[in-house]
Amino acid sequence: MDRSLQEKIFNRSVHVGVIGLGYVGLPLAVRFAEVGFQVTGIDMDQQKVDQANQGQSYIPDIPSSSLRALIEADRVHFTCDYAALENIDAVSICVPTPLRKTHDPDISYIMSATQQVREHLHPGQLIILESTTYPGTTEEIVLPELETTNLKVGTDFFLAFSPERIDPGNTEFSIANTPKIVGGVTPACTELTKAFYEQAIEQVIPVTSPRVAEMAKLLENTFRAVNIGLVNEIAIMCAKLRINVWEVISASATKPFGFMRFLPGPGLGGHCIPVDPHYLAWKLRTLDYTARFIELAAEINSSMPRYVVERVIDALNDQRRSLNGATILLLGVAYKRNVGDVRESPAIEIIQQLIARKAVVIYNDEYVPSLALPDRTLLSQPVSSGLLQAADCVVIVSDHSYYDVRWIIHEARRIVDTRNMTQNFSDEKIARL
């Protein structure tokens, strides 16, 4: 069975299925279609499916022109019907894995997708979980569900974990040139998964088990979360010591060894770094162990929006102005530069805290036309001289490349810069982290 599947992989006659068509799934589907595979994307969101089938990309990293070309060539198709799995040889599960409010992992999307795969599981099928999750999920949750079909892993079907490494907005590293880790339940599973991804990705790195691959993904993002937590605390320390933290970091970064440059900011955002460490911490709590570094970093990082608000209050105090009734303009609400993703964005917490203190909040973000809050929806306002001059304080939250920093500094009354966009300007109206 594995030789037959391997031959189909090498001659690219494998029919590829991708479950979940978000920031991970759609680029993956497009990549495999680009290298010559027949691809079916599955998602329960009818609007996404319709949009994709019309060649309209809702993911900034995927040009609509590229998607349309693949659809016209009949290389890719999208559906809400899981019955399509009947004719699919290799399935990648790319569904969300959010946190509950209690910071416990929510793997309901994985379980739902796995149940659908089980209903259509057939001999010779390769199943790969890409969704970030805690170590043990593939073997403890996915495998038992699939084995209820009486098909045997490593013989009848093949199962592996291969963590996604998508970085939205990154123009240097894409799916094609970002190394891919794969860990199969059996050696045959690993071998087939490696062969599969090698058709579309430049470098594939096999590891000995799904648990290693699951843990590797969590280490990557925990490493970032902990170091960002460290540099955020350093920023607070430097403010108290009246030292420019950005200058400190630049000076330290001149050391050619033993130092890695991390930058402070208004808080963590996105689909990975604020979430993934909590998966690991939760798993360790079930083993009666406290992941102290993770919890401390999370405490510091989650406190940064409050610290930004405090900096705004200080900036207003310099003008003898109260936050109550003040107009605050946020520049950028996306969690990072030049993307429209607001998942876990610190801007949302900053806005809610400002509103709670009776400030009037407006924002600009060309990537985010509207922003839904629990009790209201805000609309992005075009940046103009009038808007900048009307604001008692301008807060740079996302350092989008379209912002004309020199002009903003000239027009604004007071600026709190959380991203160091104003580093080349010296002006008393600017307050930095």
Alpha-carbon distance 213 to 175, whole Å?
Answer: 17
Cα pseudo-dihedral 307, 310, 316, 321, rounded to 10 = 150
Please classify residue 328 by burial: count the beta carbons closer than 10 Å to its beta carbon, then call 0-12 exposed, 13-18 middle and 19+ buried. buried
Alpha-carbon distance 114 to 119, whole Å?
Answer: 9
DSSP strand pairing (377-379 vs 370-372): antiparallel
286-298 pLDDT tens trace: 999 999 999 999 9
The mean per-residue pLDDT over the stretch 408-418 comes to 97
The angle, 0 to 180 degrees and rounded to 10, between the axes of the packed helices 276-285 and 210-241 is 110
Q: How many helices (H) and strands (E) does the chain have?
A: 15, 15
Burial 176-203 (b: 16+ CB within 10 A, else e): eebebbbbbbbebbbbbbbbbbebbbee
136-194 pLDDT tens trace: 999 999 999 999 999 999 999 999 999 999 998 888 999 999 999 999 999 999 999 99
225-278 pLDDT tens trace: 999 999 999 999 999 999 999 999 999 999 999 999 999 999 999 878 889 999
CATH class, domain 224-432, is alpha beta
The mean per-residue pLDDT over the stretch 290-310 comes to 95
Give the count of beta carbons closer than 10 Å to the beta carbon of residue 237.
12
C-alpha distances in Å from residue 119, one per residue of 126, 137, 385: 14, 19, 59
Residue 46 is predicted with a pLDDT of: 97
Alpha-carbon distance 97 to 268, whole Å?
Answer: 17
Q: 2-208 with 224-432: one CATH topology?
A: yes
197-208 pLDDT tens trace: 999 999 999 999
Query: Which CATH number is 2-208's, of 3.90.1170.50, 1.25.40.420, 3.40.50.720, 1.10.10.1150?
Result: 3.40.50.720
Confidence of residue 103 (pLDDT cuts 50, 70, 90): confident
189 has catalytic annotation: no
Domain ranges of the chain: 2-208, 224-432
pTM: 0.92
What contacts 334, CB < 8 A, 6 or more positions away? 269, 340, 341, 342, 345, 347, 365, 367, 368, 398, 400
CA 230 to centroid of chain Cα atoms: 21
Name the catalytic one among 94, 189, 238, 272. Answer: 272
Give the count of beta carbons closer than 10 Å to the beta carbon of residue 99.
16
| Three-state SS at 115 | helix
Q: DSSP letter at 359?
A: -
What contacts 385, CB < 8 A, 6 or more positions away? 411
Sign of torsion over alpha carbons 321, 322, 326, 331: positive
C-alpha distances in Å from residue 18, one per residue of 76, 128, 216, 332: 11, 10, 22, 32
User: What's the mean pLDDT when you consider all of the chain?
Assistant: 96
What tokens were used for 7? 């031959």
